[in-house]
Amino acid sequence: MRFFKEFLPIIIFFVAYKFYAQLPVSLIETINALGLPALIPAEPTHAIYFATLTAIIASAVSVLLHYWQAHQLNKNQTITFVLFLVFGGSTLLLRDPAFIQWKPSVINLLFAVIFLGSALIGEKTMVERLMGAAMQAPQSIWRRLNMAWVSFFVTVACLNLYVAYQFSEQIWVNFKLFGMLGLTFAFLIIQMVILNRYITIKSEE
């Protein structure tokens, strides 16, 4: 469920982009009344702007709902929202899709820096901090896993930019959801298969 919540704004971005042409004119006029740069109904080049706006709103709602339920901010959701606001807001105000296309790369590189920094500073890596409460493994395994995540984040960041600049906008939107989600699932599955030999689930007290 938590994994789904992390990807919810991206799913909403995809749906909004794909169905923009079918939206009623009255809804577009209501959105235009907010004072943002105007959207043209059924205009294919404006689908990216509508999708960006809905993703910003969805990300904000996710942050607020988590805070309402847990009485604290979720770091990943908050970082995602801030980046959506900065890069998505730039796309809307400057009418340039490049900003929102850069957002996935920036957030993956940011996580790569955080995970790498945790291996250089402090006693525990970021992976151990996230998974150590439920699993036990040697320090060498935690460090290898942490570096694997660093490599994964950098790879996804580079792939995102490659697809954004070498292929059409529609292909990039598909990659943003299915490509990144598929890569993440595949990485998690491979990771658990490899770690199954080393990790012992902590028993409940």
Q: Based on the structure, what is the number of domains in the chain? A: 2
The domain of 48 spans 1-96
Tell whether the torsion through CA atoms of 138, 141, 146 and 147 is positive or negative.
Answer: positive
Domain boundary among 96, 127, 154: 96
Average pLDDT over residues 147-167: 96
Question: What pLDDT, in 10s, does the model give residues 20-43?
Answer: 999 999 999 998 988 877 899 989
- Scored b (16 or more CB within 10 A) or e, 114-123 reads ebbebbeeee
Residue 132 pLDDT > 70, yes or no? no
How many whole angstroms separate alpha carbon 108 and alpha carbon 150? 9
How many whole angstroms separate alpha carbon 193 and alpha carbon 188? 9
88 and 2, same domain (yes or no): yes
Question: What pLDDT, in 10s, does the model give residues 11-24?
Answer: 999 999 999 999 99
pLDDT of residue 3: 56
152 and 164, same domain (yes or no): yes
Residue 4 pLDDT > 70, yes or no? no
Q: Could you tell me if 176 and 15 are in contact, meaning their C-beta atoms sit under 8 angstroms apart?
A: no
In percent, the amount of the chain with pLDDT more than 90 equals 58
Residue 200 pLDDT > 70, yes or no? no
Residue 88 pLDDT > 90, yes or no? yes
Residue 136 banded pLDDT, cuts 50, 70, 90: confident
How many whole angstroms separate alpha carbon 167 and alpha carbon 123? 43
189 and 151, same domain (yes or no): yes
Q: Could you tell me if 28 and 54 are in contact, meaning their C-beta atoms sit under 8 angstroms apart?
A: no
82 and 128, same domain (yes or no): no
Residue 202 burial class via C-beta count within 10 angstroms: exposed 0-12, middle 13-18, buried 19 and up: exposed
Residue 1 pLDDT > 60, yes or no? no
* Residue entry with tokens 């940011």: 110
Residue 205 pLDDT > 60, yes or no? no
104 and 81, same domain (yes or no): no
How many whole angstroms separate alpha carbon 170 and alpha carbon 146? 33
Secondary structure, 3-state, 66-91: HHHHHCCCCHHHHHHHHHHHHHHHHH
How many whole angstroms separate alpha carbon 11 and alpha carbon 127? 26
36 and 88, same domain (yes or no): yes
Domain boundary among 96, 119, 135: 96
78 and 122, same domain (yes or no): no
88 and 59, same domain (yes or no): yes
Question: What pLDDT, in 10s, does the model give residues 89-99?
Answer: 999 999 999 99
Please state the pTM of the whole predicted model.
0.85
**What is the pLDDT of the chain when averaged over all its residues?**
87
Tokens of 49: 């702007």
